[in-house]
Structure 1
């Protein structure tokens, strides 16, 4: 491990196996690359010189348990990149929970680290900015979608009450960052949103950024890094499977058959069968009539709804791990075996797996592992202890957003979610059961229909920043204009405003639901 201390945008001290490993005249970014070339197998930690006594060296191995991790911690009250980035970026990376290890590309020069292997992969692909914070944020923003694992990590420091000065809201820096790291159209939306919501006319920053070149990385860059995590995440190795079902007898049978021939057998299958018809009985006779190589816990309920069904199932989980499945999937015989090998290798306790319909084009499939911004309730494996205190929020029942909300609950407890394209799940998207009835939402008969759906709005109110919500509002305004009947732009504006406020009203009502 090499520790690099800096001050006033220059390296001032390096703790390494050798002396004179850096040049005082070079920028910190150039110095880090230089050090990585001399120590290609080492972890490189950076820290402001004032934090030397607070660095939590004992936790370094735990934090950087594999070579594709980049982590930092920000001691300023705001981030290097302005909160207005929310007008452009809708992912949960922006609203950081600083109390836990939280996935984000928003890095800080205060304290952090990255393995030399990752730095050397990028040395010829990314500009070595004189501003160290810009350099770090650029690496993380470009690398995170390609497999670099990036975190805000409070465990980097111990017993530290120090607070750094608040950063200036630099519009030129913001526009430059957006131009270099997002599609060009986003600078126009950023300019518009700053005017609409903050009454800021950022003409000069907008014009200046037009001369900046986009930054990109080789899509396969981080595939070249061999990963073996130091985290021991599998102990007992037992797994239960939860499956909510409604009116899909044949499809569920095929799913159970696939599970019964796994080379890595689950201990328990928890099936929650829903049938809203009073006095009805189960149609899943094969659960009792056939022999299964695992215990099947069958719950029958007249209350429909995926959130309620999954909550009932989660209460019955006994194993160390749980596979959250749908009732109309098909999996290969070694599916669970493959999944556990990936979990062990990557050191992750939550993994969402590639899940596609039979006719989904191969060229559109995601083919690399990366930090997932959502969660798949029908295609994820999670460690049971991490979700013991969690439930699916019943405010999302019969709407949209419960998956994303559950994922956010996990992240806010400090549990990251990895997306892995393999092993793949085939999702048949079976027709709905014959006894299902369309649920009538509370706002169905309102004269002014909410737009977006109140459950979509609820997710955004609970988990996104105000800038992200406002940015979504602008995009929705333009997208929906093309498909709705009112073509008078002034009338459409006032209609959309009423619909937005209606959605916000119902989202807040859902938010207070017990």
Structure 2
């Protein structure tokens, strides 16, 4: 491990793990200095620390926190990150509003304290400019490489004390430059419109200045060769339960059970929650008892409708180390659970969402990456973590319960990784029987809410104010061409009414016990 201390945008001291002084180029920028050290120590972790918090850096826990080489950690205890709240206007992902109390996935890095492996720096050398601004460089590296498989986190345990430190903040010029270099050009325009509309600012010079910068995303960078040999242990027995909510899909569910019965690594329990709202109805799943299965089937029959309630009932019955949250209309190969546990053992994470596509659909993501949402029918999670939370029934019959569940995991320090394999085939079966169309409180309103109040609820609960406003701006432009009337002024006033109606009902849902 090599520790780099810096002050006033220059390296001041470099110390080895044995607490020996290491020579360095005093004329180089911090970024260039790190690259030089990576060349000299290609198998080392490179730690950086601003002198203002040198006394509080937690070096003894770095080995534990940085448990494999394809990671990048940093921390700034300040309320906002380097780019501040305004970056939320153009990115809606969960990586913007950082929970500073837990280890949290984000590309937003800080020069205050952090760690990266030398092998990553060597991979990006010559492909990402060694900016004079160290904060800009760190954020650029993380933003580009996160989508390539680098796992990036805000890690509060890097410091033993956090109350008195705050990181550097970017100017509006720097913000526009970053957006131009790391996003599609349209986001520069949207940032400008959002600042004009919501902050009454007119950053025309910063906007025009972006013409002098090119995208950094076109460079050929590959991080796949960086080894992932995690020192943590998250898989002990490898036992797994499967939960499946179902309604009126008897044949599809039977096929799922047959797939599970043929697994090379069998589940311990398969927990099925069957729903039927008819008062005098009974279960139609006769094969649960008249056939022999190589696992325990826990069957709950309920007249209460709703997938959130069904999954919560099932989660309460889990007993194993892991739980596979499945749908009742999927197909998996007989090696699915075995290969899934192998992937879990390699990355040592506690929540994974798998590729789940319909037949003949092209897979978009081929790399293991930090996932921005959560698949409630295609994920495996550590049981101890899901027992601390539940699916929010305020989303029942609407949209957003799976994304909300993912945010609950992140806010207790559990990242969600996407695994492109093993794959799940999703049949998207026709809606089963015994279903009644839910009646929402807002259905008879003369002004219909837009977006759906459950979608709006998710935005209110989990996005920053700037992210909510940025989403509103995108929605405004997105739906303009889909309206029956094209008068821009009329459309604006109608859209505002629909948005306000959505916020009203979302807050009603939020207040509901």
Give yes or no for TM over 0.5. yes
Q: Distance in 2 between matches of 1:204 and 1:506?
A: 40
Q: Distance in 1 between matches of 2:280 and 2:49?
A: 67
DSSP 3-state at the match of 2:100:
coil
2:406 counterpart of 1:407: yes
Corresponding position of 1:435: 434
Corresponding position of 1:456: 455
- State the 1:387 CA deviation: 1.4
**Would the aligned equivalents of 1:194 and 1:200 in 2 still touch at CA under 8 Å?**
yes
Corresponding position of 2:255: 254
Corresponding position of 1:376: 375
- State the 1:209 CA deviation: 1.2
Q: Distance in 2 between matches of 1:441 and 1:345?
A: 45
DSSP 3-state at the match of 1:252:
helix
- State the 1:224 CA deviation: 1.4
Corresponding position of 2:9: 9
**Would the aligned equivalents of 2:77 and 2:100 in 1 still touch at CA under 8 Å?**
no
**Would the aligned equivalents of 1:82 and 1:170 in 2 still touch at CA under 8 Å?**
no
2:85 counterpart of 1:101: no
**Would the aligned equivalents of 2:247 and 2:433 in 1 still touch at CA under 8 Å?**
no
**Would the aligned equivalents of 2:24 and 2:33 in 1 still touch at CA under 8 Å?**
yes
* Per-residue CA distance 1:438-475 (angstroms, 9 max, x = gap): 11111111100000000010000000011111111111
- State the 1:63 CA deviation: 1.1
- State the 1:161 CA deviation: 3.2
**Would the aligned equivalents of 2:70 and 2:117 in 1 still touch at CA under 8 Å?**
yes
**Would the aligned equivalents of 1:143 and 1:217 in 2 still touch at CA under 8 Å?**
no
* Per-residue CA distance 1:325-380 (angstroms, 9 max, x = gap): 0000000000000000000011111110000001313xx43111100010000000
Gaps of 5+ in 2: none
**Would the aligned equivalents of 1:60 and 1:156 in 2 still touch at CA under 8 Å?**
yes
Which segment drifts farther, 144-153 or 222-231?
222-231
After TM superposition, the structure 1 = structure 2 runs for residues 160-175 of structure 1, keeping only pairs within 5 Å, are: 160-164=162-166, 167-168=168-169, 170-175=171-176
2:154 counterpart of 1:155: no
**Would the aligned equivalents of 2:105 and 2:153 in 1 still touch at CA under 8 Å?**
yes
After TM superposition, the structure 1 = structure 2 runs for residues 303-382 of structure 1, keeping only pairs within 5 Å, are: 303-361=304-362, 364-382=363-381
* Per-residue CA distance 1:195-231 (angstroms, 9 max, x = gap): 0000000011001111111102656611111211111
DSSP 3-state at the match of 2:56:
coil
**Would the aligned equivalents of 2:250 and 2:285 in 1 still touch at CA under 8 Å?**
yes
* Per-residue CA distance 1:40-95 (angstroms, 9 max, x = gap): 00111000123222111221122111111101001333321131111111101110
DSSP 3-state at the match of 1:269:
strand
Which one of the candidate residues 135, 138, 142 is aligned to 1:136?
138
Q: Residues 15 and 412 from structure 1, CA distance in 2 versus in 1: closer, same or farther, beyond 3 angstroms?
A: same
Q: Distance in 1 between matches of 2:303 and 2:147?
A: 42
Corresponding position of 1:71: 73
DSSP 3-state at the match of 2:115:
strand
Q: Residues 219 and 255 from structure 1, CA distance in 2 versus in 1: closer, same or farther, beyond 3 angstroms?
A: farther
Q: Distance in 1 between matches of 2:22 and 2:384?
A: 47
Q: Distance in 2 between matches of 1:149 and 1:399?
A: 32
**Would the aligned equivalents of 2:127 and 2:220 in 1 still touch at CA under 8 Å?**
no
Q: Distance in 1 between matches of 2:169 and 2:199?
A: 16
- State the 1:317 CA deviation: 0.4
After TM superposition, the structure 1 = structure 2 runs for residues 385-424 of structure 1, keeping only pairs within 5 Å, are: 385-424=384-423
Which one of the candidate residues 31, 48, 68 is aligned to 1:29?
31
Q: Residues 487 and 37 from structure 1, CA distance in 2 versus in 1: closer, same or farther, beyond 3 angstroms?
A: same
Which segment drifts farther, 131-140 or 16-25?
16-25
Q: Residues 419 and 298 from structure 1, CA distance in 2 versus in 1: closer, same or farther, beyond 3 angstroms?
A: same
- State the 1:19 CA deviation: 4.7
2:46 counterpart of 1:44: yes
- State the 1:163 CA deviation: 2.1
DSSP 3-state at the match of 2:86:
helix
Q: Distance in 2 between matches of 1:160 and 1:354?
A: 39
Which segment drifts farther, 156-165 or 425-434?
156-165
Q: Distance in 2 between matches of 1:129 and 1:414?
A: 31
Which segment drifts farther, 93-102 or 49-58?
49-58
* TM-score under structure 1 length normalisation: 0.98
Corresponding position of 1:221: 222
Q: Distance in 2 between matches of 1:52 and 1:492?
A: 56
2:225 counterpart of 1:235: no
Gaps of 5+ in 1: none
Q: Distance in 1 between matches of 2:342 and 2:170?
A: 45
- State the 1:399 CA deviation: 0.4
2:484 counterpart of 1:485: yes
Q: Distance in 2 between matches of 1:473 and 1:277?
A: 40
Q: Residues 219 and 315 from structure 1, CA distance in 2 versus in 1: closer, same or farther, beyond 3 angstroms?
A: farther
Q: Distance in 1 between matches of 2:221 and 2:137?
A: 20
DSSP 3-state at the match of 2:223:
helix
Number of aligned pairs? 511
DSSP 3-state at the match of 1:420:
strand
2:114 counterpart of 1:115: no
Q: Residues 6 and 169 from structure 1, CA distance in 2 versus in 1: closer, same or farther, beyond 3 angstroms?
A: closer
Q: Distance in 1 between matches of 2:326 and 2:220?
A: 30
**Would the aligned equivalents of 2:283 and 2:301 in 1 still touch at CA under 8 Å?**
yes
DSSP 3-state at the match of 2:251:
helix
2:193 counterpart of 1:192: yes
Corresponding position of 2:505: 506
DSSP 3-state at the match of 2:216:
coil
* Per-residue CA distance 1:382-439 (angstroms, 9 max, x = gap): 0011111201001100000001000000000000000010000000001111221211
Q: Distance in 1 between matches of 2:486 and 2:412?
A: 46
* Per-residue CA distance 1:110-153 (angstroms, 9 max, x = gap): 00000011111011210000000000000011111111100000
